[in-house]
Amino acid sequence: MELKKLNKLDDFLLFNFLAKDKQNAEEIIDAGLGFVVPGIVSSEFTRIEDGIKKVAELKEISSVVSIGLGDNGNPANWEKVLHIAAGANPGHINQPFEKSSYARGYLKAKGINQVVNGLVSPAGKVGYVKLSGVEIRVEDLVDLAVSMGVESIKFMPLKGLTHLEELVYLCKVASEKGIVSIEPAGGISAENIVEIVNGVRDTGISVFMPHIFGSTIDKETGRTIPQEVEKIVSLVRG
């Protein structure tokens, strides 16, 4: 199922939290009032089979599961994500931008249609992003994404509010040129989620899905804390 077909808060907002297991997925989806896409990261698995099994487990709870690169968005994990997706049909995967079109085509050839995002980084100035370490105008990046069939752009690391202006500009341009979704990650928490969401609310972006990991995970158990999810969603709802 495409992200844009999911039930979204204010008709544009979803949240991506990591789920340790099926029970944790159920807890965070309930806490997030159904506006949650549970995720895993490929770096947690040494064997592809284990990742496939985990996705199957989570899909008993959610129609869409997100597979992240892991290791702070390490591009070297792109192939592991792809092979887990090929065996599990999660619905959403994270890829380095330069691999995203290939990944989408590879899965489509196997009869698996996925939302495949393409990861870019902040350049530190509004109107630009970094792609494979090279600065590129946001307009050029979005045109490239559209030509490659990339529907979603991941923007990481946001570093909380540090690159918010850059994120807002990216959302505006993406919306104008037909990109469906923008997915920020990095330093997002209950302390800044309202400012981030309000910043992009009027950009026209169809789907905005923050990835919120570190601030919501119990460091001892590795489980996402339902109360933290509930707090974040409640703050955004006002």
Number of structural domains (the chain) is 1
> 3 falls in which pLDDT band (50, 70, 90)?
confident
25-50: pLDDT as tens digits = 999 999 999 999 999 999 999 999 99
Structural domain including 87 reads 3-237
231, two tokens: 């707090």
Instruction: Give me the helix-helix angle, 193-200 and 164-177, nearest 10°.
Output: 30
The residue-averaged pLDDT of 165-191 equals 97
User: CATH number, domain at 231?
Assistant: 3.20.20.70
The residue-averaged pLDDT of 104-130 equals 96
214 has pLDDT over 90: no
Q: 183 and 212 in contact (C-beta within 8 Å)?
A: no
Instruction: Give me the helix-helix angle, 78-88 and 48-58, nearest 10°.
Output: 50
Percent of the chain with pLDDT over 70: 100
* Helix (H) or strand (E) segment spanning residue 39: strand 36-41
> 201 falls in which pLDDT band (50, 70, 90)?
very high
69-83: pLDDT as tens digits = 999 899 999 999 999
